[in-house]
Structures are given as structure tokens and as C-alpha cells.
Amino acid sequence: MKRIYKNFSGQDNDYKAKGFVYKKMLPVLFTILFVVTSITAQTGNSTDISGDQVKLPVLNNHKFVVNSFVRSPFIKTYFRNTLGAGVAMGLNVPILIIDGEPLIGLRGDLNFLKVEFEYQYAVNNWLAVFGEVGMLSRFGTEVQALIAQGVNATYGFELGWMIKLIETKKVFLSATANLWNLSGTVLNFY
């Protein structure tokens, strides 16, 4: 079944099925995911040879779970990547409501994409340098979704130095000096 939408000039537009965009994007995303995870899996830093135990930073017999929201104070060399994608399918946004009845409704899907790469290099046991680049975006997959929600993108980079200040049996304290740039683009058509 083909969908026919009226554009703003009153002409009929025959749109292809929603899956057309996904068929082109999905192989690209899977290829990127496969290559990046294959490269990071070869480093050998994530698990030991038996694969039974994950190597996490330890202080006073406490294992720290490293995440992307709080920078780890430990001086070590690592590479981190983040790839996230999501879809809000079947979005319906009413535009004009008269007497409680929507006359024109915008339909479509929204895609969300997040990509980050971070590398930290331990120069010695008290100094590390790091860099990070990232992008976060939200965009519609069809003309109507683009009109309703637009295109939003945030992108930037960060460069910095980490210096170890205090290291005892129970305390590990580091300081960072950062330089970053964060930019955003918002396109609203409605």
C-alpha cells in the first residue's frame, strides 16, 4: 500500500515505503559498529586471557565502574567509543485543530544518533593527555517529520590534561585542565 500525502502546493507526492531509508542506513551503521568494536577488541585491555574477569580500576579493594558521564581520575591509556541509535516510529503531530478535529497531521519517524570517540594517553604515572570528539543528532526520516520536528545536531571536541595530585591507599585525586568547543545546529521548518 502506498501512502500519498499532499504537499503545501496542493500536489500529490507518491512516497516510497518507510523502510527505504533504513535499508540504506542500516548497513552503514552496522559496518561502523563492526569495525570499531573489532579494533577495540584487539587491545586486550578489557578482559584477561580467560575472559572471566573485567579489568577495572581498583582502590582499597573497591572496583570502580567507568562511565562516560564522569571522567575517571586514574592515569592510564585507553580508547573509548560510544555509538547509539534510536528511532521513534509512527510519530503523529496534529498541526491544525478545528472544533476538536485535526485537519492536517504530520506523520513520520524520528531518528536519534550519538557518536563519541575518546583517547587518553598516560605520558607517565602522574600526567595524561586526552582528546574527545562527539556528535548527537535528531532528525526526521520523511518530509512531514522534518517539518514537524526539524533537524537538531550538537557536535564538539575536548582536549585536556590530567594531573595526579594525591595518591594514598584510600584516596586518589586528579585535576584536569580542559579546552573544549561545543556547537549546535537547529533547523525548524514549522
Domain spans in the chain, listed from the N-terminal domain onward: 51-187
**pTM here?**
0.61
Helix (H, G, I), strand (E, B) or coil at 3: strand
pLDDT at 7: 44
Residues in the chain, how many?
Answer: 190
Assess whether pLDDT exceeds 50 at residue 14: no
Q: Which pLDDT band, with edges at 50, 70 and 90, does 8 fall under?
A: very low
Percent of the chain exceeding pLDDT 70 equals 69
- In the DSSP assignment, the letter for residue 189 is -
Q: For residue 46, is pLDDT > 70?
A: no
d(CA 106, CA 92): 6
pLDDT value of position 62: 84
Are 109 and 140 spatial neighbours (Cβ–Cβ below 8 Å)? yes
Is residue 47 a contact partner of residue 55, using CB atoms and an 8 Å limit? yes
